[in-house]
Amino acid sequence: MRRKKIFTYICMVLKYLFAMLFPVLTVTVHKMTWRYLVIALAEVILIALVTNLLCHVKSWLGYLFNVLVLLLMNIQFAVLYWGSTFVSAVMLSNLDSVNALSGKAFSYGLSIAMVLLFTFLPVCYVRSGKKTAIALWVTAAFLYAGIVVTRMTVYSPYFSLVNLCSQQIARNNVVNEVSNAIADDTREFLEKNEFYEDGVEDYFGKPEEIPENPNVILIFVEGMSQNILEDPRNIMPNVSALQERSVRFTNYYNHTFATYMGLSGQLYSGYQLENYDVNNLVSLQDIFKEAGYQTSFINTEPQNKEFSDYLANFGFDELIADESRIDGMADALSDKAAYELLFETALKKNGDGSPFFLAMYSFGTHATLDGVYEKYGDGSNALLNRFCDLDVQVGAFLERFEKSKLAENTVIVFTSDHATYQDADFVTAFPDYVRDMPSLDRIPLFLYYRGIKPESYDVNGRNSLDMALSVLDFLDLSAPNYFLGDSLFASESKSSYDLYFESMGTYYCTAGGEINILSSEQLQEFQKQLAKYNAVKLSDDLIYKEYEESQHFYATVKEDQSAILTELYNADSWDTLSYAVWSEEDGQDDLSWTVVSGNHENYFSYELDLGGYDTSGVYYVHVYGNMDDEDMTFIGEAKVYVDKGGSS
């Protein structure tokens, strides 16, 4: 019996020592604040005291309490050690992408095993003198009172969980508010919405070197902060050199996190409520499509069904996926395979006779992964390896690009989906780089065309909401939209949002290149506007609706290329609608007319059959209205690209 009690005492000592292990390791290895240690000490003392009190009543009751609270504490500090924050809403929202963290599977697995082993060690009642017990209770109470008074509860694993729950409740309220806004009166809501813009402001004159309709390659690198390009160790010489030869933006931040939020957020210049939200408003690819471009997106995770479905909702003409090229970690294409596919696809499309917009998200620099083909230095740091690998592959792509015809008519836009997450690997690789937020940082954005005059624009903390508008401004393209950002070429932004970061209920402001929390007034107004925006973007009732009662006309091509789908808003003012269609080739020699009579609703859609056309290329559509036998009145026009199986 005595040996059993001694064994239990030893187990308890090990259990409580282990509860301090992750806080000590985290603070020591990652140079975090000592406040985590103070709070961990206070909470371990309180847990021990309450456990002992409950064990004196019922041993099983004390053990149950001890296991539950220590399990939460140990998990929280393990997550803090590996991920630089306690469990967050972003982490929970990306659990279905856990395969992407396979690079640290062994380390994470070992941590989980250690947490479970030490958490479930036995405890028992320990007799102590009255003075000792009082001293311990007073010490714990004094420490915790100091924590609350000095507002250090942000460093507590338990208060962090409370904050996480409150954030989730707040997000649920936003979701309900958005749902109610859509359900109550979508039509009126959209007609009166304040996000509509009739075009993109022209702040930048397109350089003379660039042709009228250049091809555009948009590269999203997974999780890349600007500091990696600026590091004196010259980790990424190829990308750094390309940036120096480009029109580039400094003090430029990501506006959201993580990938699902970042890709959609930039292509639509908006925010995501949830990872898989469908945005029914205007996107960058929509505007390119309207300008006669073929639009494509390269999927580097072809076996990831959720990600593939997510990309499919972007509405690109083509989603390119080649499972035969999978050679990287987490069942994805390595950066070598991705950039080879990018070049081959661009080269092929360059010969199709019409301009293309080709986007790609490269996966190889995802957190926890290692370099597949290249290593940095002795290869001991996985983070430096994967960015070194990326740089080599980008360098190989650029070498082939410059020697090809693509360099004569193609603009490269290079950026990231979001900042590099500040996990344990990042802190180890960049110990002297100070960051205020693990998921918010400066990121690269630059536009390259061979022979262009390099220029640098300091945007003073503006963010990736502005990417789409900046690309359009650079190319002198414009179209009606619901973009929340503004062009980075504007000396002063007219946007109310491009200094605000939002991710799963976390909000920050990056004005002046400094990260600060929002004031209560800013936060309240921003949340109100986000609810409105999400109600607009999630509704499929009146997309593209302008202010008041103006008419607007849109056209797209059916997937099977058999017809042009037209949409006309406020069509009820006409007795007859007349549609004119012709191909760009040889002028209007193939012009055809379609007349539709009768009363039309406010929103009217109509399919224009393309059975009589066998030519691929750009097609024009005009619509005219007639009322009471008066002359036809021009209403609107649209331009689409039709693919008739390669014919020309």
Q: Give dist(CA 586, CA 580) in Å, integer.
A: 16
Q: Which residues pair with 389 in a beta bridge?
A: none
Q: Is 162 exposed, middle or buried (0-12, 13-18, 19+ CB in 10 A)?
A: exposed
Please determine, for residue 380, whether its predicted confidence score (pLDDT) is greater than 70: yes
| CA nearest to 42, candidates 139, 154, 162 | 139
Q: What is the DSSP letter of 633?
A: E
> What integer pLDDT is reported at residue 131 of this predicted model?
74
Give the pLDDT band (50/70/90) at residue 34. confident
Q: Which residues pair with 217 in a beta bridge?
A: 358, 412
Q: Is 446 exposed, middle or buried (0-12, 13-18, 19+ CB in 10 A)?
A: buried
Q: Give dist(CA 341, CA 320) in Å, integer.
A: 9
- Candidate ranges 37-51, 180-194, 509-523, 628-642; pick with highest mean pLDDT: 509-523
| CA nearest to 633, candidates 568, 559, 587, 588 | 568
Return all residues near 293 (Cβ < 8 A) that are at least 6 apart. 213, 216, 354, 355, 356, 357, 641
Q: Which two tokens stand for residue 317?
A: 């003409």
Q: Are 503 and 261 in contact (CB under 8 A)?
A: yes
Reported as a single tens digit per residue, the pLDDT across 136-165 is 777 777 777 776 666 667 778 888 888 778
Q: Which two tokens stand for residue 581?
A: 């269609």
Q: Give dist(CA 211, CA 214) in Å, integer.
A: 6
Q: Give dist(CA 90, CA 439) in Å, integer.
A: 10
Reported as a single tens digit per residue, the pLDDT across 556-570 is 888 788 899 888 866
Question: What is the chain's mean pLDDT, rounded?
Answer: 86
Point out the least confidently predicted range of 6-20, 227-241, 309-323, 590-604.
Answer: 590-604
Give ∠ CA 72-74-76 in degrees, rounded to 5: 65
Question: Could you tell me how far CA 466 lies from the centroid of its own chain?
Answer: 13
- Parse the chain into domains and list their residue ranges: 2-155, 175-538, 552-642
* Better-scored residue on pLDDT, 155 or 276: 276
C-beta contacts of 26-35 below 8 A and 24+ residues apart: 26/77, 26/80, 26/81, 29/81, 29/424, 29/427, 29/428, 30/81, 30/84, 30/424, 30/427, 30/428, 31/427, 31/431, 33/155, 35/152, 35/155
* Better-scored residue on pLDDT, 215 or 105: 215
Q: Which fold has domain 552-642?
A: Immunoglobulin-like (2.60.40)
Please determine, for residue 128, whether its predicted confidence score (pLDDT) is greater than 80: no
Reported as a single tens digit per residue, the pLDDT across 223-247 is 999 999 999 999 999 999 999 999 9
Q: Give dist(CA 76, CA 156) in Å, integer.
A: 9
Reported as a single tens digit per residue, the pLDDT across 290-310 is 999 999 999 999 999 999 999
Give the pLDDT band (50/70/90) at residue 555. confident
Q: Are 93 and 504 in contact (CB under 8 A)?
A: yes
Return all residues near 255 (Cβ < 8 A) that are at least 6 apart. 265, 266, 271, 463, 464, 465, 497, 498, 500, 501, 502
Give the pLDDT band (50/70/90) at residue 25. confident
| CA nearest to 375, candidates 360, 366, 386 | 386
Give the pLDDT band (50/70/90) at residue 68. very high
* Better-scored residue on pLDDT, 31 or 514: 514
Q: Give dist(CA 341, CA 333) in Å, integer.
A: 10
> What integer pLDDT is reported at residue 99 of this predicted model?
65
What pTM value is reported for the model?
A: 0.74
Please determine, for residue 445, whether its predicted confidence score (pLDDT) is greater than 60: yes
Total number of residues shown for the chain: 648
Q: Give dist(CA 419, CA 221) in Å, integer.
A: 10
Q: Which two tokens stand for residue 465?
A: 């909401």
Tokens 């309207």 correspond to 290
> What integer pLDDT is reported at residue 22 of this predicted model?
84
Q: Give dist(CA 379, CA 427) in Å, integer.
A: 17
Please determine, for residue 514, whether its predicted confidence score (pLDDT) is greater than 80: yes
Domain range 175-538, CATH class: alpha beta
